[in-house]
């Protein structure tokens, strides 16, 4: 198909405001008469709050309120996307380092800070659960009170929930080679450049929340439940987030601010520092034990997986992360037998939430490393090994789910050709490859409105959050393509629940597919109305609009919907809209003296269906690649034995800089226009991150002969492994 | 940030008077890139911050005089490393100065500040110690000079008295041929704090001076006079042996940046690299003279 | 001058003179954003590690979170708001837009200012010089590819 603007790299809609400093982020919102809040914390993982003396703080000029758990009465309001388990502030006990015990509210930031310093908290430090082994130790304290866990069979343990997936019989599956290993994936910070900033502003009976969030509608529901208001009286204004990566899906401190603002009937604002954001959200860490069987000719015979995922004191969205990450944990392969047991374990650490790739990279490290280990033992090329196991288009590989929906062999071929897989390499270098697959959205509810104005310009309303992925641009391209309105005459309105129609969420690389479809449908609705009004069917838009609105003005309103309903009985509650499939390949070199890794080349190949804006796809891939290099080589939260976070902030939590990127970075994609999105598009926001840590670990093994089963592969980790291997030989 | 007062003296007597008045309740600011981080973190509470940027007697320049190079207390790192007199004679200081923080930090931070913060990991300190820099301190009581090697008392602690101010950093000009180099180990390639850092100076007379950072509460300086490190014909094994004796004085610890064991191993790796480059430079300098 | 808790300063920001009283302990970043409502300059790490708050002070790129506003008396400051000329993007801003250097945009103002400084001091930078010049500015979205491309391109533009 040929299109006018679809498939072309039009400049980012909103880009001009971003290069001039005009873009308004959450922290730039200023509401008249706002009070400022500061959180009071205690420096340990878990503490019994003995007493909070507020006298000193209340004596600071300008301090209006010191709010703490004592100010609440049972039954306590609790919230959370899966379990309603999180109170708006610590009640009686803090459950992780950084868990606030009080909020000081004052006329100025200075007064709030002075007030926070003046609050005297008496507390007793209690033993804390910080590691997976501690969470599994029956002698350790329970993170959640059993009385708050209803009829959960695990209520008297630190297991939040358990999942069992699989098919075939791993016990009887025959294999020529069986290997068993344990892998560990660290806690990682989303590290969005924009730290959290919230304002709760009451105005008569409407509560407005200004916050940088991926799911404004869920925030609206949480605040409505908290304050006992109808949805119509809670307005969530969500300026485009300054990076989110999953970390801004669910409420953080908006509920406590809304509660205080409602009490005081004054706007209240809280801005966190980047370091404080480290206490608000992280990625789920995991330890994965896997026993895998292979046949002599390189076919996977079975995987038997036991995965323990360390979550925080509150569930947030982690049950879904573990569930989805585990479900397709065997990877994009046709495997006769798979058994997966996953457990989400509660702990006294920063509460994890979603992060680009959800639960996939954690499992990927284990499964894709196993494949490489087997390939080496069986003397089969690792790429060939993968080609022998992937399904062909239309072939089933997950029993209850849609068949393989793309030409995945082409993806591997593109990656191989661009890394030069079959070319000779320098002796000190290593190459590595890994595939990644992610299930996308299983349910959907996206609504969109297109307003074609009398002058032929258009306004698009939709509830996606554009956090850098470029949703505004792609939607404007769709409207432009369908209605012939130039991009610069289209205004895209997002991020205000009082204005834009409902959208379920901006997650799971879904927006191009689902909201894209809703925008497409709304455009078609406008088109249909134009056609109905057209006298001969050949009139231009301008002529039709003139005939319609020449005497009495008006506009054409198109409405579009894209829904996917729940499937009862399906383990994930529904079929994925598409598979996000990636092949990452790298060529690296290891400095054997220091353990430092140099990445000479990195290739990301994805199956995107149709790249609606190729430049945006490349940007997603490049960005995910460098973020993935951070995961692979340097990033991890460090807790001490008492559960105190030792490297919150940019100083000792290192992310890649301009000097830590690969010598050459290539992003290529396969386009067969076979996706469920408009023009055959699939989502592609997360794929670049899925397999990169594993690809690099595989390359390190290729270069050094030493297999490392944990991330990050810091120079020190690699050096230690090389030392150990040297000692052994 | 917790509140404090601000003062901006315009002369040295005025500055010294303020210091006499506030003593350790005052902190001096020039670049402020370390001070403001401490104040933002709430690790430090002060009554007054004294801005020294208008004190005419405190120079922001590098001046080459007979037998010395003088670095003014307000000279920012970014300019110091571009000074021809520094570039030509003190490559280890240039290599260290070029990787202190980011461009933005180096545009603001002074060499004097990097010294006075007394961080065990400060990058300009090992080269300056290896070059045997002296620090001139002034107070209302007069002036004194301290070798940089005995300037540090502990992390964040120096011999500067509460009423004193650093007035000059003096680096001796090389006597005869000299080769020097700096290297460090970091967690990533871009802007980082040193896991360990090392400067080495090799003199024509066979004396080798090495200084290591981030491996003890203060910088460690070790000197060796066998001549083996300055001799291109000496075997790699012998060089290793000598370097290991030099490094024996280091007392690294484990922290959030590295384990003790890794630091120990990297000291030797970096020391080898520094010795190799310094020796190349020494040989070049010797050749130039012949 | 005696020690003061509030300091009167005269600064020129984007060619406009401001006479303001600032708190002794307030940073340039705080005064720009909260007192003067120039919110284009972003606050992220607040400890000089991310570069989001980069502005030019007397022609030098600095982290405005690590500068006291009181120190700025008499200074000339350029922020992201001062780069446009008569509503036209500067060539560097245009290159950021065209070359895919912008995603969420939160690091962009600081990144553009650091690049502006680089191009003023090194008009035709090599890729290595660009990567060094921008290594104090973190970006979590782009992988830096588009940013480096944009600066390269803007550097070439100044040739003609």
Determine, for residues A619 and C141 on separate chains, whether the beta-carbon distance falls below 8 Å.
Answer: yes
The answer to whether position C151 is within a domain reads yes
Q: Which fold has domain A31-126+196-271?
A: Aldehyde Oxidoreductase; domain 3 (3.90.1170)
CB atoms within 10 A of CB A379: 7
The answer to whether position C1 is within a domain reads no
| A15-23+444-564 against A285-441+573-728: fold identical | yes
pLDDT at A535 over 80: no
Structural domain A15-23+444-564, CATH architecture: 2-Layer Sandwich (3.30)
The answer to whether position C86 is within a domain reads no
According to DSSP, the residues that pair with A287 across neighbouring strands are A184, A308
Q: Where are the alpha helices (DSSP H) in A119-240?
A: 132-136, 216-227
The structure tokens 């401190």 sit at A253
Q: Are residue C71 and residue C10 in the same domain, yes or no? A: yes
Token digits for C140?
A: 């979590």
Q: Are residue C100 and residue C74 in the same domain, yes or no? A: no
Token digits for A153?
A: 């069979």
Q: Which of residues 19-38 of B touch C (CB under 8 A)?
A: 29, 32-33, 36-37
ipTM over 0.95: yes
* Residue B185 contacts A where some CB pair is shorter than 8 Å: yes
- Please report how the helices A692-704 and A614-633 are oriented relative to each other, as an axis angle in degrees rounded to 10: 50
Query: Each residue of A50-70: pLDDT tens digit?
Result: 999 999 999 999 999 999 999
Q: Are residue C107 and residue C137 in the same domain, yes or no? A: yes
Determine, for residues C48 and B48 on separate chains, whether the beta-carbon distance falls below 8 Å.
Answer: no
The last residue of one of the domains, among C49, C81, C113, is C81
Determine, for residues A658 and C148 on separate chains, whether the beta-carbon distance falls below 8 Å.
Answer: yes
Task: Enumerate the residues of chain A whose CB falls inside 8 A of the CB of residue C131.
Answer: 658-659, 661
Of C96, C107, C131, the CB nearest to A193: C107
DSSP conformation class of C88: B
pLDDT at A144 over 70: yes
Residues A652, A658, A662, A663: is their CA dihedral positive or negative?
A: negative
Of C3, C51, C66, the CB nearest to B32: C66
Chain C residue whose CA is closest to B98: C132
Token digits for A461?
A: 């309303």
Determine, for residues B187 and A714 on separate chains, whether the beta-carbon distance falls below 8 Å.
Answer: yes
Of A9, A615, A658, the CB nearest to C135: A658
CATH number of the domain enclosing C105:
1.10.150.120
Q: Are residue C28 and residue C77 in the same domain, yes or no? A: yes
Task: Enumerate the residues of chain C whose CB falls inside 8 A of the CB of residue A468.
Answer: 103-105, 141
CB atoms within 10 A of CB C2: 10
CATH of domain A285-441+573-728: 3.30.365.10
Q: Kindly list the domain boundaries of chain A, sorted by start residue.
A: 15-23+444-564, 31-126+196-271, 285-441+573-728
Percent of chain A residues past pLDDT 90, beyond the cut: 97
- Alpha-carbon distance of C81 to A19, in angstroms, equals 9
Burial A40-64 (b: 16+ CB within 10 A, else e): bbbebbbbebeebebeebeebebbb
Show pLDDT as tens, one digit a residue, over chain C (160 residues): 689 999 999 999 999 999 999 999 999 999 999 999 999 999 999 999 999 999 999 999 999 999 999 999 999 999 999 999 999 999 999 999 999 999 999 999 999 999 999 999 999 999 999 999 999 999 999 999 999 999 999 987 654 4
pLDDT reported for residue C158: 59
Q: Residue C38 sits in which domain range?
A: 6-81
At residue A52, φ and ψ (nearest 5 deg) are: -125, 110
* Residue C71 contacts B where some CB pair is shorter than 8 Å: yes
> Quick check: A60 and A50 in contact, CB under 8 A?
no
Write the CB contacts of A689 (distance below 8 Å, at least 6 apart in sequence). A356, A357, A361, A436, A624, A625, A627, A628, A631
The answer to whether position C116 is within a domain reads yes
Token digits for C79?
A: 């922020």
Query: Each residue of B24-82: pLDDT tens digit?
Result: 999 999 999 999 999 999 888 899 999 999 999 999 999 998 899 999 999 999 999 99
| Inter-chain contacts counted by CB atoms under 8 A, chains B and C | 106
Distance of residue A67 Cα from the nearest chain C Cα, in angstroms: 25
Task: Enumerate the residues of chain A whose CB falls inside 8 A of the CB of residue B189.
Answer: 657, 659-660
Determine, for residues C44 and A23 on separate chains, whether the beta-carbon distance falls below 8 Å.
Answer: no
Determine, for residues A657 and B190 on separate chains, whether the beta-carbon distance falls below 8 Å.
Answer: yes
CATH number of the domain enclosing C24:
3.10.20.30
Touching subunits for chain B (3+ Cβ pairs under 8 A): A, C
Determine, for residues A654 and B188 on separate chains, whether the beta-carbon distance falls below 8 Å.
Answer: yes
Determine, for residues C48 and B190 on separate chains, whether the beta-carbon distance falls below 8 Å.
Answer: no
Q: Are residue C76 and residue C11 in the same domain, yes or no? A: yes
Average pLDDT, chain C: 96
| E strand residue ranges, A593-651 | 597-607
Determine, for residues C61 and B107 on separate chains, whether the beta-carbon distance falls below 8 Å.
Answer: yes
Q: Are residue C43 and residue C106 in the same domain, yes or no? A: no
Residues A43, A46, A50, A53: is their CA dihedral positive or negative?
A: positive
The last residue of one of the domains, among C21, C49, C81, is C81
Domains and CATH numbers, chain B: 5-172 (3.30.465.10), 178-289 (3.30.390.50)
pLDDT reported for residue C155: 84
Q: Are residue C64 and residue C22 in the same domain, yes or no? A: yes
Write the CB contacts of B241 (distance below 8 Å, at least 6 apart in sequence). none
* Residue C83 contacts A where some CB pair is shorter than 8 Å: yes
The last residue of one of the domains, among C18, C48, C81, is C81
Determine, for residues B190 and A656 on separate chains, whether the beta-carbon distance falls below 8 Å.
Answer: yes
Which of A720, A353, A488 minimizes the C-alpha distance to A15?
A: A488
Touching subunits for chain C (3+ Cβ pairs under 8 A): A, B
Q: Is B57 exposed, middle or buried (0-12, 13-18, 19+ CB in 10 A)?
A: middle
Determine, for residues B193 and A654 on separate chains, whether the beta-carbon distance falls below 8 Å.
Answer: no
Q: Are residue C12 and residue C72 in the same domain, yes or no? A: yes
Q: Are residue C21 and residue C76 in the same domain, yes or no? A: yes
Q: Are residue C15 and residue C73 in the same domain, yes or no? A: yes
Task: Enumerate the residues of chain C whose CB falls inside 8 A of the CB of residue A210.
Answer: none
DSSP states of B249-289: T------SS--HHHHHHHHHHHHHHHHHHHHHHHHHHHHHH
Task: Enumerate the residues of chain B whose CB falls inside 8 A of the CB of residue C47.
Answer: 37, 40-41
Determine, for residues B2 and C24 on separate chains, whether the beta-carbon distance falls below 8 Å.
Answer: no
pLDDT reported for residue A470: 96
* Residue A276 contacts C where some CB pair is shorter than 8 Å: no
Which of A322, A254, A355, A331 minimizes the C-alpha distance to A82?
A: A322
* Residue C62 contacts A where some CB pair is shorter than 8 Å: no
* Interface with chain C: mutation pick from B78, B99, B102, B113, highest number of C CBs within 10 Å: B102
Determine, for residues B185 and A594 on separate chains, whether the beta-carbon distance falls below 8 Å.
Answer: yes
Q: Are residue C118 and residue C148 in the same domain, yes or no? A: yes
| E strand residue ranges, chain B | 5-7, 26-29, 48-51, 62-65, 68-71, 134-139, 142-147, 152-154, 157-158, 165-172, 178-185, 196-203, 208-213, 220-224
* Residue B198 contacts A where some CB pair is shorter than 8 Å: no
Of B3, B7, B107, the CB nearest to C23: B3
pLDDT reported for residue A41: 97
User: What's the length of chain C?
Assistant: 160
The structural domain count of chain C equals: 2
* Residue A594 contacts B where some CB pair is shorter than 8 Å: yes
> Quick check: A211 and A26 in contact, CB under 8 A?
yes
Query: Each residue of C140-154: pLDDT tens digit?
Result: 999 999 999 999 999
* Interface with chain A: mutation pick from C23, C86, C104, highest number of A CBs within 10 Å: C104
* Residue B5 contacts C where some CB pair is shorter than 8 Å: yes
Which pairing describes strands A63-68 and A78-79: parallel, antiparallel, or unpaired?
unpaired
- Alpha-carbon distance of A193 to A435, in angstroms, equals 29
> What average pLDDT score do residues A94-108 get?
98
* Interface with chain A: mutation pick from B42, B188, B195, B240, highest number of A CBs within 10 Å: B188
Show pLDDT as tens, one digit a residue, over chain B (290 residues): 999 999 999 999 999 999 999 999 999 999 999 999 999 998 888 999 999 999 999 999 999 988 999 999 999 999 999 999 999 999 999 999 999 999 999 999 999 999 999 999 999 999 999 999 999 999 999 999 999 999 999 999 999 999 999 999 999 999 899 999 999 999 999 999 999 999 999 999 999 999 999 999 999 999 999 999 999 999 999 999 999 999 999 999 999 999 999 999 999 999 999 999 999 999 999 986 54
- Alpha-carbon distance of A44 to B28, in angstroms, equals 33
* Residue B257 contacts A where some CB pair is shorter than 8 Å: yes
According to DSSP, the residues that pair with C27 across neighbouring strands are C68
Query: Each residue of A591-608: pLDDT tens digit?
Result: 999 999 999 999 999 999
Chain B residue whose CA is closest to C61: B104
Task: Enumerate the residues of chain C whose CB falls inside 8 A of the CB of residue B79.
Answer: none
Determine, for residues C141 and A243 on separate chains, whether the beta-carbon distance falls below 8 Å.
Answer: yes
DSSP conformation class of A69: G
pLDDT at A386 over 70: yes
Determine, for residues C4 and B7 on separate chains, whether the beta-carbon distance falls below 8 Å.
Answer: yes
Determine, for residues C1 and B10 on separate chains, whether the beta-carbon distance falls below 8 Å.
Answer: yes
Q: Are residue C73 and residue C105 in the same domain, yes or no? A: no
């Amino acid at each position: 198909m040929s299109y006018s603007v679809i498939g072309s790299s039009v400049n980012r809609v909103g880009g001009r405001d971003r290069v001039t400093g005009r873009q308004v982020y959450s922290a730039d919102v200023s509401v008249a008469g706002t009070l400022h809040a500061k959180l009071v914390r205690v420096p340990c993982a878990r503490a019994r709050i003995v007493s909070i003396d507020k006298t000193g703080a209340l004596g600071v000029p300008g301090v209006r309120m010191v709010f703490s758990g004592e100010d609440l009465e049972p039954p306590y309001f609790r919230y959370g996307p899966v379990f309603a388990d999180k109170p708006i502030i610590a009640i009686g006990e803090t459950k992780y380092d950084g868990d606030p015990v009080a909020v000081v509210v004052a006329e100025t930031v200075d007064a709030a800070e002075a007030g926070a310093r003046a609050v005297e908290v008496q507390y007793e430090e209690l033993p804390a659960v910080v590691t997976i082994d501690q969470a599994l130790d029956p002698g350790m304290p329970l993170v959640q009170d059993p009385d708050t866990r209803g009829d959960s069979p695990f209520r008297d343990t630190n297991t939040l929930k358990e999942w069992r997936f699989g098919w075939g019989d791993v016990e009887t599956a025959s294999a020529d080679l069986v290997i068993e290993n344990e892998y560990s994936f660290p806690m990682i910070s989303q590290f969005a450049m924009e730290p959290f900033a919230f304002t709760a502003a009451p105005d008569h009976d409407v509560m407005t929340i200004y916050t940088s969030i991926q799911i404004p509608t869920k925030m609206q529901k949480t605040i409505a439940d908290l304050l006992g208001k109808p949805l119509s009286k809670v307005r969530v204004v969500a300026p485009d987030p300054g990076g989110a990566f999953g970390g801004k899906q669910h409420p953080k401190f908006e509920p406590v601010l809304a509660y205080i603002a409602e009490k005081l009937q004054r706007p209240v604002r809280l801005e966190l520092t980047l370091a404080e954001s480290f206490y608000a959200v992280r990625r789920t860490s995991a330890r994965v034990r896997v026993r895998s069987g292979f046949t002599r000719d390189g076919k996977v015979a079975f995987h038997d997986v036991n995965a323990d995922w360390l979550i925080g004191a509150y569930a947030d969205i982690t049950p879904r992360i573990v569930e989805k990450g585990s479900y397709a944990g065997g990877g994009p392969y046709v495997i006769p037998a798979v058994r997966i047991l996953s457990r989400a374990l509660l702990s006294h650490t920063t509460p994890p939430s979603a992060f680009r790739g959800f639960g996939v990279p954690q499992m990927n490290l284990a499964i894709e490393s196993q494949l490489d280990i087997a390939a080496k033992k069986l003397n089969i090329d690792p790429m060939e090994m993968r080609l022998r196991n992937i399904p062909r288009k239309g072939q089933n590989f997950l029993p209850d789910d849609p068949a393989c929906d793309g030409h995945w062999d082409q993806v591997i071929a593109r990656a191989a050709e661009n890394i030069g897989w079959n070319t000779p390499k320098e002796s000190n270098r290593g190459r590595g490859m890994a595939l990644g697959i992610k299930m996308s959205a299983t349910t959907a509810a996206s609504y969109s409105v297109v307003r074609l104005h009398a002058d032929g310009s258009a306004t698009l309303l939709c509830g996606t959050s554009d956090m850098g992925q470029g949703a505004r641009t792609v939607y404007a391209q769709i409207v432009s393509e369908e209605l012939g309105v130039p991009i610069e005459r289209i205004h895209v309105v997002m991020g205000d629940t009082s204005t834009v129609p409902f959208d379920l969420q901006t997650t799971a690389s879904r927006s191009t597919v689902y909201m894209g479809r809703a925008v497409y449908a709304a455009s078609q609705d406008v088109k249909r109305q134009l056609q109905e009004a057209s006298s001969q069917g050949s009139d231009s838009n301008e002529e039709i609009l003139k005939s319609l609105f020449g005497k009495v003005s008006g506009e054409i309103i198109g409405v579009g919907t894209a829904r996917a309903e729940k499937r009862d009985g399906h383990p994930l509650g529904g079929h994925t809209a598409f598979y996000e499939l990636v092949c990452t390949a790298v060529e690296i070199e290891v400095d054997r003296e220091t353990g430092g890794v140099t990445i000479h080349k990195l290739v990301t190949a994805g199956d995107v269906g149709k790249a609606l804006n190729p430049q945006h796809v490349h940007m997603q891939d490049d960005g995910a690649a460098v973020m993935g290099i951070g995961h692979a080589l340097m990033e991890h939260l460090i807790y001490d034995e008492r559960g105190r976070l030792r490297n919150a902030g940019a100083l000792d939590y290192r992310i890649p800089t301009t000097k830590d990127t690969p010598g050459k970075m290539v992003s290529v994609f396969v386009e067969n226009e076979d996706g469920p999105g408009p023009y055959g598009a699939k989502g592609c926001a997360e794929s670049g991150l899925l397999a990169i840590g594993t690809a690099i670990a595989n390359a390190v093994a290729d270069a050094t002969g030493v297999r490392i089963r944990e991330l990050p592969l810091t120079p020190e980790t690699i050096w230690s492994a090389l030392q150990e291997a040297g000692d052994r030989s | 940030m917790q509140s404090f007062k601000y003062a901006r003296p315009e002369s040295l007597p005025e500055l010294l008077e303020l210091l006499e008045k506030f003593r350790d309740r005052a902190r001096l600011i020039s670049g402020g890139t370390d001070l403001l981080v401490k104040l933002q973190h709430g690790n430090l509470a002060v009554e007054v911050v004294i801005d020294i940027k208008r004190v005419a007697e405190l120079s922001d320049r590098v001046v080459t005089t007979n037998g010395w190079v003088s670095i003014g207390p307000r000279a920012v790192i970014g300019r110091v490393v571009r000074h021809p007199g520094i570039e030509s004679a003190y490559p280890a200081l240039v290599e260290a100065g070029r990787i202190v923080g980011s461009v933005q930090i180096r545009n603001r931070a002074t060499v004097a500040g990097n010294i006075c913060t007394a961080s065990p990991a400060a990058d300009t300190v090992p080269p300056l110690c290896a070059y045997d820099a002296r620090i001139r301190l002034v107070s209302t009581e007069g002036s004194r000079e301290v070798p940089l090697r005995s300037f540090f008392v502990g992390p964040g602690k120096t011999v500067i008295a509460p009423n004193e101010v650093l007035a000059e950093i003096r680096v001796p000009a090389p006597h005869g041929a000299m080769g020097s180099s700096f290297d460090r180990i970091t967690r990533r390639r871009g802007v980082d704090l040193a896991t360990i850092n090392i400067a080495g100076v090799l003199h024509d007379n066979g004396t080798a001076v090495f200084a290591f950072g981030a491996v003890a509460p203060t910088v460690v300086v070790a000197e060796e006079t066998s001549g083996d490190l300055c001799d291109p014909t000496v075997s790699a094994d012998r060089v290793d042996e000598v370097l290991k004796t030099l490094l024996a004085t280091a007392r690294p610890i484990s922290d959030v940046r590295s384990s003790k064991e890794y630091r120990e191993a990297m000291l030797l790796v970096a020391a080898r690299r520094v010795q190799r480059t310094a020796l190349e430079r020494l040989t070049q300098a010797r050749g130039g003279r012949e | 001058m005696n020690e003061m808790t509030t300091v009167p300063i005269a600064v020129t920001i984007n060619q406009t003179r401001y006479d303001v009283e600032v708190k002794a302990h307030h940073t340039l970043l705080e005064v720009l954003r909260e007192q003067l409502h120039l919110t284009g300059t972003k606050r992220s790490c607040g400890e000089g590690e991310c570069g989001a708050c980069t502005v030019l002070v007397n022609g030098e790129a600095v982290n405005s979170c690590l500068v006291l506003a009181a120190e700025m008396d008499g200074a000339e400051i350029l922020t992201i708001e001062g780069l446009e000329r008569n509503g036209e993007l500067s060539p560097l801003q245009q290159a950021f837009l065209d070359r895919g250097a912008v995603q969420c945009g939160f690091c962009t103002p600081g990144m553009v200012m650091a690049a502006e400084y680089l191009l003023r001091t090194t008009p035709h930078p090599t890729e290595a010089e660009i990567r060094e010049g921008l290594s104090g500015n973190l970006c979590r979205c782009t992988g830096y590819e588009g940013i480096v491309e944009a600066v390269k391109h803007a550097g070439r533009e100044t040739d003609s």
